[in-house]
Each structure stands twice: as structure tokens, then as C-alpha cells.
Amino acid sequence: MDAAKNKYSIIVPTYNERLNIALIVYLIFKHLRDVDFEIIVVDDGSPDGTQEVVKKLQTLYGEDRILLRPRPKKLGLGTAYIHGLKHASGNFVVIMDADLSHHPKYLPSFIKKQLETGASIVTGTRYVKGGGVHGWNLIRKLTSRGANVLAQTLLWPGVSDLTGSFRLYQKSVLEDVISSCVSKGYVFQMEMIVRASRKGYHIEEVPITFVDRVFGSSKLGGSEIVEYLKGLVYLLMTT
């Protein structure tokens, strides 16, 4: 399949990302010069003025390239993707974070890998050669690595990075997988990839370096780790 015949809908959920959203948009346009794409910003009622920045970006790049599809309050990551999917006109969908932890420079590699392999899903991974993490302390690295090793051991998903949230999906595949997911928060990405694997979808990986957020505060805490462990047990019992 030729990339020129495809359209990529990039769903970017935001909450208080005023300082990051303009740069992430600029970098997406910089690295996808010869690709048909749209950016769908799903903002959950950010009080910091994120939506006002996005509206200014729309005047610069066009409302057909940047779609602002806000929600009134924080309603969770999974439902943000579902909301964005309703407005996606592409046959492929990219999900990525707005906080610059997912660098748009990897998007051409995702697209190239999908074209070469015909994969249903291409996921960024920190845990193969060429991948990594920058800006995390040792505790955070060990927590993330331990979470992945535990999930690998129990679930055998065939994917090296279960909790990553930088992925390219065939739109129909994302619609199918997301409709069978029930998890919220930190566990959601893991359930998505495990369900996709169980359904027999072709999954490929691209090494990425995850960079800790530049502006703003991380949203991972003790409660998310507890939810992760509960979600692991749930997936072990239901997949």
C-alpha cells in the first residue's frame, strides 16, 4: 500500500498542555511533509488555556488539518480515543501524548514499518535495541521495567512494551479493539495491545526513546500502580 493513498488521523488527548501543544503540532508538520494527515486534539476542559492555543494553531494551519474536539472535563484516556475516533477521517489512526514524551520524528518510521509489513498495529517500544528512556529516575525506570516484565511473564502478548501509548493503528482495528476494552487509566494501553494480540492482529514494533515530559507534571502515581496490578490480574483472568 502506498503512503500517498493513506490518510493518518493523529489523536492527541490534552489536559493542561498549553506549553507543549504548539511545539508538538509544529514537529508533526515538520516530520510529515509528504503525508496526508489531520491532528485531532481532544481536550478535557483544560483550565490553562490549551484550547485557546489550539484555536490559534487552527488559524495558522487550517481547521481541516487541526481539529479541536473538546470535552467538558477529564473523562479518561480510553474515552478520549473513542471521542477522537468519531471525528477521524483517516484510514489509519496514530495515538500519541501531547507532552513531548513521544517525539513526532518517529512517525515516518511507524508509517514505513506499516507499509513494509502490512501490520494492523505499529507500536513504539522502549525495550528493544535502539529504544530507551530519558529523564526518568532509577525508581521510575525500575517500576516501568518491572511492570512490563511482570506482564510479559503472565500474559505472553508477543510485544515488548505493553504500557507505551505511541502507536499507529489501522482505523478499523482500533475501532474493534477499543470496543472490547474496559480498563481505565494506566492499564488501558496494556489491555489494548493484549486484546489485539489475542484477536490475532499483526503487530510490529519500532524502537523509540521516551523522554520525560518537558513542561508540566507527570500523571503517574501510587494509585496508578495499584490500578495496573489490578488490571494485570483482570487481563490474566479474561484473555
> What ranges do the domains of the chain cover?
8-237
How far is it, in rounded angstroms, from Cα 12 to Cα 98? 6
The per-residue pLDDT string of the chain (239 residues; one tens digit each, 9 = 90 and over) reads 566 689 999 999 999 999 999 999 999 999 999 999 999 999 999 999 999 999 999 999 999 999 999 999 988 888 899 999 999 999 999 999 998 889 999 999 999 999 999 999 999 998 777 776 665 566 666 666 666 667 666 666 678 888 788 999 999 999 999 998 887 766 788 899 999 999 999 999 999 988 765 555 555 556 666 776 777 777 777 87
Beta bridge partners of 44: 71
Among all chains, which residue has been given the C-alpha cell 525500575? 142
- pTM for the predicted model, two decimal places: 0.84
- Judge: domain 8-237, CATH 3.90.550.10: yes
Query: Would you give the end-to-end CA distance of the chain in angstroms?
Result: 32
Alpha helices in 90-201 (DSSP H): 107-117, 138-155, 171-178, 188-198
- For residues 98 and 21, the answer to whether their CB atoms sit within 8 Å is yes
CA distance linking residue 28 with residue 176, whole number of Å: 26
